Amino acid sequence: MSNPRSRPCFPALMMGALIMATSTAARADEDDAPLGVFKLGDGTLKVGGVLRVRLDATLDDPKPTSGISWDVAWLSAKYDSPTLFGAFQYRFYGGTNAIGYADTTNLGQENYLTFAYLGYNLTHEHKLALGMHQVPFGILPWVSSSFYQTMANVIGLEDVHNVGIKYNYSGGALTLDAAYYLRDGGSYFGPTEDANRYSIGFVRHDSYVEGGTNSRERHQFIGRVAYKFAHGTESSSEVGASGLYSRIQNLDTRESGGRLATALHLVGNYGRVRTMIEAGLQRIDPRNPDQNTSLITMGGFGGSFNVATKGKFLSVDLSYSVPGSWAYVSGVRPYLNYSVFAKDEAAFKTSHRFFAGTSFSLYDRWWIAAEFRFGRNDPYTGSYVNGLGVGGDDLWHKAYFMNVGYYYP
């Protein structure tokens, strides 16, 4: 049995390569090139980072409670050239984790790799990437405009980065992706048994997860196709389909079952209005020691929780890009998002999530998001451990969240 806190060796190799590259690179010749931008061969290397703070407020109690804490700091590097490309990001969390529970007191006590990969441009249209990178499933890179993301995220089908190889074809209106992932991104440093990770995945359950399981994902195959239709010069519609199959190994029985997921999506950009719709299903066949095949434990961001193994999901997102700017404020985008996870098990309660929020930029390098969040049987709003499984109290819970981040360069 592998150590849940062990780290894959390639992140260290990737970081070493970037450090060596930076030491031999020269600052970009342009006078306005920001600090951290270097010329390297026939490409450009950008080294930067982010520092974010957050405000969380619970609105269910007669007297609301709130608190300000560190959210995350991260270090990043990105390289682009006509032939090679790559990226690296490592995050340090603290204060309050993604589900609103205090888990660390100092920024960095919970930390993990987000992604680390190298790629090769076979031609202008054909690319290969190797390492830990985002799986090409559904709407990319995110299913919604919201900060907290959707039900697709918490069932492991949005913003997931695994270790493998990916092929991409982008030719005119058509995009094709095919990928194979040997394993997930692994667990790093933090308060949990196996969920100290950025991407939601299959994990060893923590002691507070009643009826939890111990699983891991291996040998994931993914295919995605998307086609964009132009409607004049300012509008377009992208339609697409995705499919995923992998093996889920139970670490107690050492037996493996299958995971199957499919999704259809639409991304419509109609002038300043953007709509994103994704619908799909997930079927997991776990080999749990108690023969219970209706639940499996997943986790990320310093926590684990139970998820129904079979269900359907839907996300509908509507946003508007406000024209112009005011003083130092720009890029204002108000949005609404609703997502749902309906479980096949009749006794399990449906999980709902709704957002009303906005995001904008300040002084170019500051980015701010603020949103009201409403959840029913939602692991991030009122029903953590069992919300995505059997369900919680089946009542609507509400919270307010604001994130303020400085991005460089």
Domain ranges of the chain: 56-61+120-408
Handedness of CA 387, 148, 243, 296 (dihedral sign): negative
- Farthest CA pair distance, the chain: 65
Helix (H) or strand (E) holding 64: none
Residues 388 and 307: beta-carbon distance below 8 Å: yes
- Residue 282 — pLDDT band, cuts 50, 70, 90? very high
- In the predicted structure, residue 138 carries a pLDDT above the cut 80: yes
Share of the chain above pLDDT 70, in %: 89
342, two tokens: 């309906």
Residues 403 and 368: beta-carbon distance below 8 Å: yes
Residue entry with tokens 């930390």: 111
372, two tokens: 């009201």
How many residues does the structure list for the chain?
A: 409
Average pLDDT over residues 174-187: 98
- In the predicted structure, residue 219 carries a pLDDT above the cut 60: yes
- In the predicted structure, residue 26 carries a pLDDT above the cut 70: no
Which has more pLDDT, 280 or 234? 280
Does the domain formed by 56-61+120-408 have CATH 1.10.1060?
no
Q: What is the DSSP letter of 102?
A: B
- In the predicted structure, residue 345 carries a pLDDT above the cut 90: yes
pLDDT at 163: 99
- In the predicted structure, residue 332 carries a pLDDT above the cut 80: yes
3-class DSSP state of 367:
strand
Mean pLDDT over each residue of the chain, to the nearest integer: 90
